[in-house]
Amino acid sequence: MARTDLLHGSLDLLILRSLVLGPLHGWGISKRLRDISGEILEINQGSLYPALYRLEDGGRIVGEWGFSPEGRRVKVYSLTAAGRKQLLSEQREWTLFSTAVSRVLAAQ
């Protein structure tokens, strides 16, 4: 499985988690994830924006039009109560999954 496949399967979780830290526009979410991950996670626009639209359509995030510090019109996304609930559920699932994978990798 390629790193992009792993990322694609966890992209919603990463987006929701990044928005816990505060509202951001799409490029800001991508930059936040890249910065926090030590530049390991690179989210391309072809993956990011469909995920944002899906999360918005599902009521997990809400987007409002505003302006960037540079004065450009941007859509700023915030986490909803439903998004927080999904985040908690996905974090639990991720913890179980990553623990299981770590056990398999450490087996002797």
Domain boundaries, given as residue ranges, for the chain? 3-106
pLDDT tens, position by position, 48-79: 999 999 999 999 999 999 988 889 999 999 99
Q: What is the spatial distance between Cα 51 and Cα 48, in angstroms, rounded to a whole number?
A: 5
Q: Is 13 exposed, middle or buried (0-12, 13-18, 19+ CB in 10 A)?
A: middle
What confidence tier does 1 reach under pLDDT thresholds 50, 70, 90?
very low
Q: What is the spatial distance between Cα 82 and Cα 75, in angstroms, rounded to a whole number?
A: 20
| Averaged pLDDT score across all residues of the chain | 92
The dotted CATH code for 3-106 is: 1.10.10.10
Compute the Cα dihedral for 87, 88, 91, 96 and give only its sign: negative
More confident residue, 44 or 53: 53
